[in-house]
Amino acid sequence: MSATEPFGARLHRAMAERGPLCVGIDPHAALLADWGLGDDVAGLERFTRTVVEALADRVAVLKPQSAFFERFGSRGVAVLERAVADSRAAGALVVTDVKRGDIGSTMAAYAAAYLEPGAPLFSDAITVSPYLGFESLRPALDLARPHGGGIFVLGLTSNPEGAQVQRATAADGRPLAQLMLDAIARENAGAAPLGSVGAVIGATLSTAGVDLAVNGPLLAPGIGAQGATAADLPRLFGDRIGQVVPSVSRSVLRAGPSVAGLRAAAEAEVGALSAALRDRR
């Protein structure tokens, strides 16, 4: 697939071909221990290589959480670099979960680290935080577009503290999250079959309470260990269910360290999600 084909189009096709599933690669200490691995670079590398080997050739999206690699310093980041490259080579789209958010030249440098072709961490998409103002993301948005990259903007997150900012009311009466979603919609205007700028909407929310018509992907973390289920998605997303990218982590990763176990767990998640979403897509 062409690297300059828009991310939204590539994501739409990948989910049609491989099923509606994003698997997070979250090698936190407890999971390493569950796998019988040390909380060190060797354990991190073994864990990550196993997940990539098991899933990169069959799931639509892999989402490594950068923090779990960064905590080991440069050697941990080297493991992340290889995971991103190997996952993309095997056909998975990689959303590197970094939640960057800054201004000016600093935001431009973050964007170059993940969205510039040839960069060691070059990814299909990244997560970003817009709460320094949506236009603070402009360097990332402008760099992603010509290279077929994607951006997932934090919209409504599942952590209780998020509401303090995201549901606060702007001067025009809209929740701040709605301002961000409306800005995403403008970025995606006219895109088909799916825009390349998405929103992160926690699957554990009881209700969205905002207009999710962004014409882009809605990344929905929180399914599985955090309490949400596939059956919750139609209720939360309604007629936008066709844009949802359901994300799971521990419910699949706990099936390791067996490659066969990881594959079976991912296949079961795809089946459950496909069944829940089939009638609404």
**Which listed residue (13, 28, 88, 99) is catalytic?**
99
What is the sign, positive or negative, of the torsion defined by CA atoms of 166, 125, 266, 12? positive
99 flagged as catalytic: yes
CA dist 44 and 56 (Å) reads 17
3-state helix, strand, coil in the chain (%, to 5): 50, 15, 35
Nearest to 64 by CA among 31, 95, 19: 95
Q: At what angle do helices 41-55 and 259-277 cross, to 10 degrees?
A: 50
Q: Measured between alpha carbons, how far is 256 from 178 in angstroms, rounded to an integer?
A: 39
**CA 144 from centre of chain:** 15
Spatial contact of 43 and 186, defined as CB atoms under 8 Å apart: no
Find the helix or strand (DSSP H, E) in which 94 lies: strand 93-100
- β 150-156/22-25 pair status: unpaired
> Which residues does the annotation mark as catalytic?
99
